[in-house]
Structures are given as structure tokens and as C-alpha cells.
Structure 1
């Protein structure tokens, strides 16, 4: 029986996802060798991996199978999840069509410091390698969209422009000082040797207080440990893991992490 703290989904959500997979995949084929794992076990293993970022060797020990079996199983379920949940994607413009002010911030999903990509993926700000994603939510904490990945060496201002977010966000959108000069509502930067007036400090406080909600949204996203702990797999599989793991989050009632995805109301 799946439990939300273990898989990130409650029983009903797990059953819904299992049914969708069962309709999409022919798990046991008559002309092939029987699989060592049932479809329910395969889905649970994939959820355990995404939720807790467990090693494949440990999962293999739990289910008394080999590590290559676990690896093949996770890859197969991830590929199926991406296809099954892709119809839930909505255009970024529609996803961000929400009343009131929005809040944006960037976050780094850490990865192993692969030698071939050290220069473009290493974030000097965070002192680690990873991918940059832009997170956009409402002031009451409803996640609206997460953009696709860009190299961790890129600052938030670059990512904002690269994704073309200026077409959807304006001066009513709250942001931190990393977005100064992009037409958003940002705090005033402190200039060395210049004393900041009380009025400016009060204005910065007015902006920063509601903006803090995006930090809580990011923390909630990263309860899926594969997006918080170091991503250990080859970087070529990152987009698939990010997409499938995040879309599963729809059923966990927090967010689909597909490229420029929108959270449907369930």
C-alpha cells in the first residue's frame, strides 16, 4: 500500500497513475520473458527514486532484483510518464494568465560536476554545478510555471530574457535584486558608500515581504529529493527525469515540472 510520505502520492493518486500506465504499456507480453517486477512495483520504485533520490543498488536490495533491472525499470516508467502526462502541458502565456501580482525567482537543481560541462554548469553564486530554473507563482503561493533548464552558470537575468518572460511579466511582478533593470518590481540595490534612506528601506521591505512566498514554493518543490539532492545520473537523462518526476507532482498536488508547464486544477 503506497503512502504519501514514501511515494509522494496518496492511494487514490497512485491508483490513478497506475491505471494510466496500465492503459499505455503492455507490461507482460506473451512472447517475452516475464518481468521480475509488477507494474505497481515498477511505479513505486520510480516514485521512491524521485521522492527520496535513493541509489539504484539500494532499491535493488529492497526488491531482490539486480541494479540493471532497477535502472531499466526506472527509465521505462519515466519515458511512459512523459508521454502520458504531456497532454497536460499548457502554453506559458496561458499558465501565467492569473489575476493579481506574480512572483518570480530562480533556483539551482544541483548535479554532479561532470568535467565536460564544468564551465557552463558551474554556478559561481552557489559554488556548485547544476541547472537554473525560473519559478513563477502567485502572491498566495500557487505555483504557475517552472521553465526548462538552462546552465547553472547563467544568472537569473539572462534566464529571464532567454525564456522570453518579458512578454508575460511586467512591473507588477515581484522579484529580487537579480532582476533589476528588467521592468519588474524589485528592491533598490544598496550602493557602496551611500547610506540608504528610511523610505527606501521601507519600500524594499514592502517588496521583499510578499516576495518570500516563492522561496516556500521552491522548498515545497524540492521535497522531491531528486530535485534537491545532487542529480547523479548522466546529464543527457536530466530533462526526462525532470519532466516525469515533476509531472508526477501534479498528482501530489504541487506542480508539473515539464518545460514551461502549468498546474491543472484537480
Structure 2
């Protein structure tokens, strides 16, 4: 049976990932589980974790599809998701090295969540009119992903999220582009409309050129959100979300062949 649509990986990539997960479990005795935990089998257990990341279903629906209990789904997710992240860690490139000689495009996106507070800070984004985490995405002019930042509460402005990330240091010597939310960061941005005056024709042409180039980072965000957890509404504990972002990022690079 092919699991291409379910996991977002082709057969060779999926088999390779299962082999890597097996290696991690074998090398770390503390990560091994009792045999009864593997009634589903390692291969299908990895498929289950990838399915949860890609489709973001409720666990009861996943349990019905895989013919197991909801508690089994929960255990597989809790145990194997970190192992998948570890197995793919080597595929996540160093942003500074990956961006060498390239123009860097930066944009923020909202990963929706329930309306929960995070350390007293609201998750509500006035820009998006929704609750969630602000993720900073860096990409090349070809639309290839370079890096994904750690999430910050959605109420935070893009400039704040960018400054809290590793991006300023990683891309310090790169030509970078952002939208008007990054004015004052040193990036090349569109030009604001002068107060009380029409926008000069030259500024319109310039802004159109910037928008066309920055479309590539929108493509990168769309590809990242092919895995539905950062696209649909995340239902799990907020404290776990940074680790889930790392797993999704690693899977994106793995699929691209980094």
C-alpha cells in the first residue's frame, strides 16, 4: 500500500525515514518501548505520526483509520514525534551557510491555535484577526525554504518576532527583503505612501517589483503549510508547538532533498 498522500513523502523517502527512526530507537535504549506498544508496527506507527502532522485530524479519526484505540494514537504521537525530529535533524541546514550568495526573503505567517494565553501574553493577532503563533519564514528568490523561526505569540509584530529569532545574526551579511512590517530592520522593503500625498509613480513601479520578488516566500510558506498543523487550528498544548514546528521544518527539508 502506498502512503504518499497520507504522509506527503514518496515510498523511498518514507522507507528511509522509518529506517532512520529505527536506528535512533536502537541507538538509544531509553527510547525503546515494550513490545506490546508496537502492535501497530514501527512502519505504520511512523505513518500515523506523519498523518497527524500532515492532516491535523482529531485523534479519534486517526484511531478509526488505523484500526487502533485513541489512547494508542496518543502514545505513538507522544513517543515517536520527537524521534522523527531527531532522525531528520541532519537535514535541517544552517541558515547562514544555506543562504550564502543568495538574496533572503523574509515574511511572517500566523499558525492558528485555540484562544489560549501564553505566559500572560495574548495570542490574538490584530493583523490576521485570529489567535495563533507568529512564525518567521526565510526563503530564496526561487522559493526554497531557508529557515523557520521559533514561534512567538500572534500578538507580536513581525519586527519583534524577527528580532527574537536567529535571523538577524544568520542573515546579517545578506541582501534581504521584507514587507512594510519590517521597516527599520535594514531590509529592503516597499516604500510607504507619503502622508497627505499621492504615491509617486516611481514608488508604484518599485513596490510592484518588490512584490513580484517577494512572491517566492509566499510559495515557501504555502509548501510548509502543506502539513496542516501550522495551517489549520492547532489543538494541542502550546508548550509543545515549538517542537512540532521543528519536526515539520525538518520534514520539509527532507522532502526537498537537503
The answer, yes or no, to whether TM exceeds 0.5 is yes
CA separation of 1:175/1:155 partners in 2, compared to 1, >3 Å: closer, same or farther? Answer: same
For 2:248, the equivalent position in structure 1 comes to 245
Of residues 121-130 and 169-178 in structure 1, the stretch that sits farther from structure 2 once superposed is 169-178
1:114 corresponding residue in structure 2:
116
User: Structure 1, residues 198-249: CA drift from partner, whole Å, max 9, x if none?
Assistant: 1111111121111111111111111111110000111121122222233222
CA contact (8 A) 2:149 2:166 kept: no
What secondary structure is seen at the aligned counterpart in 1 of 2:115? coil
Query: What secondary structure does 2:81 align onto?
Result: helix
Is the 1:171–1:183 Cα contact (8 Å) retained in structure 2?
no
1:129 matches 2:127: no
Please list the CA deviations of residues 56-80 of structure 1 after superposition, one character each: whole Å capped at 9, or x if unmatched: 0011112222111100101111121
1:147-169 Cα deviation digits (max 9, x unpaired): 11111111111122222533324
Q: Is the 8 A contact 2:106 2:137 kept in 1?
A: yes
CA distance in 1: counterparts of 2:149 and 2:246, whole angstroms: 11
Q: Which residue of structure 2 aligns with residue 256 of structure 1?
A: none
- Could you tell me how far apart the structure 1 residues matched to 2:220 and 2:186 are? 23
Report what 1:193 is aligned to.
196
Using the alignment, how far apart are the partners of 2:34 and 2:46 within structure 1?
23
Q: Does residue 97 of structure 2 align to residue 71 of structure 1?
A: no
Question: What secondary structure, in the 3-state scheme, does the structure 1 residue paired with 2:109 have?
Answer: strand
Counterpart residue number, 1:17: 17
Structure 1 alignment gaps of length 5 or more: 254-264
Query: How many angstroms apart in 2 are the aligned matches of 1:162 and 1:115?
Result: 19
Deviations 1:22-49, CA, capped at 9 Å, x for gaps: 122259x796535321011111111111
- Contact preservation (8 Å) 1:171, 1:184: no
Alpha-carbon RMSD? 2.4
Runs of 5+ unmatched residues, structure 2 = none
Aligned to 2:60: 57
Measure, in 1, the Cα distance between the counterparts of 2:196 and 2:54.
Answer: 47
Aligned pairs, number: 254
Distance 1:171 1:185, change over 3 A: farther
Residue 118 (structure 1) shift: 7.2
Q: Distance in 2 between matches of 1:171 and 1:245?
A: 25
Normalising by the residue count of structure 2, what TM-score does the alignment of the two structures yield? 0.89
Q: 2:229 aligns with which of 211, 214, 226?
A: 226
Alignment of 1:201-220 (within 5 A): 201-220=204-223
State how 1:163-182 maps to structure 2 within 5 Å.
163=165, 165-167=167-169, 168-169=171-172, 172-182=175-185
Pairing 1:87-102 to 2, within 5 Å after superposition: 87-97=90-100, 99-102=101-104
